[in-house]
Amino acid sequence: MDDSANTLEVLKRNLQSGGYEVYTCQAVAEALPLLEELDIDLVITDFRMPQATGLDLIKHVRDNHQHTEIMMITGYPSIPGAVKAIKDGAGEYLAKPFTADELLTAVQRIVDRLLRRRILSTGDTPPDNFGIIGNSPEMKRVFRRIKQAAKSDANVLISGNSGTGKELVARAVHYNSDRRSAPFVPVNCTAIPEGLVESELFGHVKGAFTGAKNGRAGFFEIAHGGSIFLDEIGDASPNMQAKILRVIQSKEFCKVGSSKVLTVDTRILAATHENLKQLVEEGSFREDLYYRINIVDIPVPTLRERGDDMLALINHFLNKFSKAMRRTAPVLSDEALNALRNHPWPGNVREMENLIHRLVVIVDRDVIEVADLPEDMRFSLPAGGRIDRSLEEVEAEHILNVLAMTGDNKTRAAEILGINRKTLREKLKRMEAQK
């Protein structure tokens, strides 16, 4: 919306060339009926308009059309004006003159944000995803491989970083296979003391060793007819590797203290965060065991590789922990959401679950802001962000972001920036003069 017919025509042509459907108005009064009648995704408004201003329109949209995004454009750029527009709800602030590329880039950022919000408001798990949240191309490849593995009885190797959900994948294979009615037995290969490996895997009879007052079944016996999940098999000792290989080859074992041979029918589902092929080359993992367990391989992507799955996971955890606390699920501000998207997530989904749980517990407001996040997440450089900018440009953008986040509270902004109010005022004056 703009009071200049020429400007409106240029905007319309540029936006239509980008594939957008465009409606134009020359006054706020003309825009209001359109907002009521149509499902408008984005309002682009000039700052100065006859009668009601662009800021008046922003306030109206925020009060009455919360799912509509807003971009402010103006030929009278100012730092206070930008902060005011962003504080009142404008997603972008674009100063004239601007190129068609700058306009379309700004609009695309807003559309991306709108799509993220829609993902956050949708249900947790699309159908046929085995109860696993995710709809990215990377996870669709995982789901296809799960389907393939579930149809067979072949051993499966699931690889991926810690916290990516390898056990969820293993359970999906088991519970969608013909073995679903038999046990799924998880075994942490790093948690078994070396002296108890044989007893834990295969069981023992009464009196087999000091303290063995009763006999007990081992993991393989319990998993008979079902699946055994050998988690972090790359960390298994040479002794454990040898015993696992033997039972895979022969399908037989003896309990500790007994000479009776027992037959076992169990499927091996193994997982590792290590590069097993490299461990084989280094001589720390048995090559024959590697080929036995790696009939079907399922690589699980990191959280950073999963794109907007991150949003669906955030939504799931917000609802999950809010329900447990019997409270209304809070929402994330755009700034907080961007900070989470830019975080590298070294702990993957497990790290995210922990963080969202913490936020639901400690934030008692309806909106989670950037200030509520851990310090290392608040001002992350966007992944894939431009690096061909001067230090002065980056500093100016950061100052504007901090001012917007603090609601133009210069004292608080100066504290966050690590400078005093006088220095902040001088920087703002210099930025204004360079406009």
CB-based contacts of 239, cutoff 8 Å, min separation 6: 194, 197
Model confidence pLDDT, tens digit, residues 131-188? 899 889 999 999 999 999 999 999 999 999 999 999 999 999 999 999 999 999 999 9
- What number is the average pLDDT over the span 99-113? 82
Kind of pairing, strands 69-74 and 42-46? parallel
For CA atoms 8, 95, 109, 57, give the dihedral sign: negative
Write down the pLDDT at residue 111: 79
Residue 68 has pLDDT above 50, yes or no: yes
Rounded to whole angstroms, how far apart are CA atoms 35 and 38?
6
In what helix (H) or strand (E) does residue 332 lie, and over which residues does it extend? strand 331-332
How does DSSP classify residue 343? S
- What number is the average pLDDT over the span 35-60? 77
Q: Which amino acid makes up residue 9?
A: E
Helical packing angle, 348-362 and 309-324, nearest 10°: 40
Write down the pLDDT at residue 384: 43
More confident residue, 314 or 215: 314
Q: Which of 26-40, 64-78, 246-260 has the highest mean pLDDT?
A: 246-260
CB-based contacts of 289, cutoff 8 Å, min separation 6: 241, 244, 245, 248
Contact predicate 91/110, CB 8 Å: yes
Residue 201 has pLDDT above 90, yes or no: yes
Domains of the chain: residue spans and CATH: 5-120 (3.40.50.2300), 137-300 (3.40.50.300), 304-333+340-369 (1.10.8.60), 391-433 (1.10.10.60)
Burial class (CB in 10 A: 0-12, 13-18, 19+), 258: middle
Q: Which amino acid makes up residue 252?
A: E
Predicted model pTM = 0.67
- What number is the average pLDDT over the span 273-296? 95
Q: Which of 404, 410, 408, 411 is nearest to 89 (CA)?
A: 404
